[in-house]
Amino acid sequence: MSAYPSVRPRRLRNSPAMRRLVAQTRLHPAELILPLFVREGITEPKPIDSMPGVVQHTRDTLRKAAVEAAEAGLGGLMLFGVPAVQDAIGSEGTNPDGILQQAIRDVVSEVGDALVVMSDLCLDEYTDHGHCGVLAADGSVDNDATLARYAEMAVVQADAGVHLVGPSGMMDGQIGVIRRALDAAGHQETGILAYTAKYASAFYGPFREAVGSSLKGDRKSYQQDPANTRESLRELELDIAEGADLVMVKPAMAYLDILRQVADASPVPVVTYQVSGEYAMVEAAAAKGWIDRERMIMETLTSLRRAGAEQILTYWAVEVARQLH
């Protein structure tokens, strides 16, 4: 018997060319989706302090960012509107001339043949209380009254030309109500990216600055408990039955186990969202010189693909796509 190992896994790691040859997981620009914020009433992009390098766009700079994304070969964009006025029911979310609807029309006209244009379908950006729905008299979020608002939002976003709506409020029955509303309005071709497993996460902190959220309190009564797994698969089953075209797990890195289970069970494409807090942690540590920023970005994104994500929302989408070319 040989004194040395006859099986040497390191043979497949011994050069960059060999590692590239046998890599099981690869990133491609077309799998990346760039979240973009557009703010009403500003004349210059406004930096988001807690997300270095990310801004609230004007309509003009949003167009330019969309063109850059298309040129980088991204798969899509997810648009978020930041209105000048908020109220109790989020009226600007269903205003046909609201900032998000204007942005959808702008971006679709600019890059609609090159990218999948998606829109956030939620009320938190538009309400003066910051919740994702309409409040009942006792201050709780009224699920069914909120569904009626979501149906209206879906139709105005589809009227503006969006390709996929992204209901992110975690209301029971939201996918079915939106699907019926879209179909009744003649938008059978408008798809739904369901936020299927969206957890009540501390990783969303910087996002609330990005969208000017007025939230007091928390969203634990409608977003999922980070302690739980089983309900994600129940939500998946419901969303598929109600007509979801794609499903999402959010956040990403702290929920790789959920992502893997959803990917194993889903009959439709699985998306994940590398959220604001994940982005901010890497950028902050890199600014301190504590980590290798570029390697960390690639490693985190690769982990999401390895866990089963077929598409990834990430604020690094354009930067990473350019590196992959």
The DSSP code sequence of 206-239 is HHHHHTT----S--TTTSBPTT-SHHHHHHHHHH
3-state DSSP call for residue 178? Answer: helix
Six-digit token string for 276: 């604001």
Burial per residue of 126-146, b for 16 or more beta-carbon CB atoms within 10 angstroms, e otherwise:
bbebbbbbbbeeeeebbbeeb
Which amino acid belongs to residue 142? D
Let me know if 198 is a catalytic residue: yes
Active site residue: 46, 64, 198, 288, which one?
A: 198
In whole angstroms, give the CA distance from residue 210 to residue 141.
23
What are the two backbone dihedrals, phi and then psi, of residue 305, each rounded to the nearest 5 degrees?
Answer: -65, -40
**What does the alpha-carbon distance between residue 168 and residue 83 come to, in Å, rounded to a whole number?**
18
Single out the catalytic residue among 64, 216, 220, 250.
250
> What span, in angstroms and rounded, lies between the C-alpha atoms of 80 and 125?
8
Question: Known catalytic residue: 250?
Answer: yes
The tokens for 163 are 């390709």
Residues classed as catalytic: 198, 250
